[in-house]
Copies of this chain bind each other. A is one copy, B any other.
Amino acid sequence: MIEQRAYTVEPWGLTETELRLDLIAQSESLFALSNGHIGLRGNLDEGEPHGLPGTYLNALHELRPLPYAEAGYGFPEAGQTMINVTNGKILRLLIDDEPFDVRYGELRKHERHLDFRAGTLTRIAEWTSPAHRTIRVTSTRLVSFTHRSLMAIVYEVEPLDGPATVVLQSELMANEQMPPMGRDPREAAVLEAPLRSLEFEARDAMIELVHETNRSGIRMAAAMDHIVAGTAQVRIGAHAAADIGRVTVTDVLQPGQSLRVVKFVAYGWSRQRSLPAVRDQVSAALTSAHHAGIDGLMAEQRAYLDAFWKRADVELEGDTEIQQAVRFALFHVLQAGARAENRAIPAKGLTGPGYDGHAFWDTETFVLPVLTYTNPDSVADALRWRKSTLGIAQERARQLGLTGAAFPWRTITGDECSAYWPAGTAAFHVNADIADAVIRYVEVTGDLAFEEQTGMDLLVETARLWRALGHYDVYGNFRIDGVTGPDEYSCISDNNLYTNLMAQRNMVGAASACERHFIRARDLGVTADEMAEWRAAAAAMLIPFDEDLGVHQQAEGFTRHQIWDFENTKAEQYPLLLHFPYFDLYRKQVVKQSDLVLAMHLRGDAFTAEQKAKNFDYYERLTVRDSSLSSCTQAVIAAEVGHLRLAFDYLAEGALLDLQDLQKNTRNGLHIAALAGTWIALVAGLGGMRDCHGDLSFAPRLPDGLTRLTFTLTRRRMQLRVAVNATEATYELLQGEGVMHLKHHGEPITVEDGLVVRRPIPAAPVRPPPTQPKHRVPLRR
List chain B residues, Cβ under 8 A from A73: 577-582
Cα–Cα distance between A208 and B109 once the two chains are bound (Å) = 74
Cα–Cα distance between A421 and B585 once the two chains are bound (Å) = 13
A703 within 8 A of B: no
How many copies altogether?
Answer: 2
Contact of A70 among B74, B418, B557, B586 (CB under 8 A): B418
List chain B residues, Cβ under 8 A from A492: 422, 491-492, 583, 586-587
Binds B, one of A61-69, A371-379, A387-395, A715-723: A61-69
A425 within 8 A of B: yes
- Scoring A residues 542 to 585 as 1 if CB is less than 8 Å from chain B, else 0, what string do you get? 00000010000000110011100000000000000111111110
List chain B residues, Cβ under 8 A from A67: 67-69
A473 nearest in chain B by CB position: B560
Contact of A422 among B183, B422, B473, B562 (CB under 8 A): B422
A256 within 8 A of B: no
A752 within 8 A of B: no
Interface size on A, residues (CB 8 A): 49
Contact of A581 among B425, B481, B561 (CB under 8 A): B425
Interface residues of A: mostly helix, strand, loop or mixed? loop
A494 nearest in chain B by CB position: B557
List chain B residues, Cβ under 8 A from A746: none
List chain B residues, Cβ under 8 A from A481: 560-562, 587-588
A307 within 8 A of B: no
- Scoring A residues 411 to 431 as 1 if CB is less than 8 Å from chain B, else 0, what string do you get? 000000011111001100000
Do A562 and B183 contact each other (CB < 8 Å), given the known contacts A557-B494, A582-B72? Answer: no
A577 nearest in chain B by CB position: B73
A470 nearest in chain B by CB position: B562
List chain B residues, Cβ under 8 A from A426: 583
Do A400 and B583 contact each other (CB < 8 Å), given the known contacts A422-B422, A562-B471, A562-B481? Answer: yes
A482 and B587 within 8 A (CB): yes
List chain B residues, Cβ under 8 A from A582: 72-74, 421
A779 within 8 A of B: no
Do A74 and B581 contact each other (CB < 8 Å), given the known contacts A68-B69, A482-B587? Answer: yes
**Which of A419, A492, A579 gathers most chain B CB within 10 Å?**
A492
A66 and B66 within 8 A (CB): no
Question: Which positions in A face B, CB cutoff 8 Å?
Answer: 66-74, 79, 183, 185, 399-401, 418-422, 425-426, 471, 473-474, 479, 481-483, 491-492, 494, 548, 556-557, 560-562, 577-584, 586-588
Nearest 3 CB-CB pairs, A to B? A482-B587, A69-B419, A67-B67
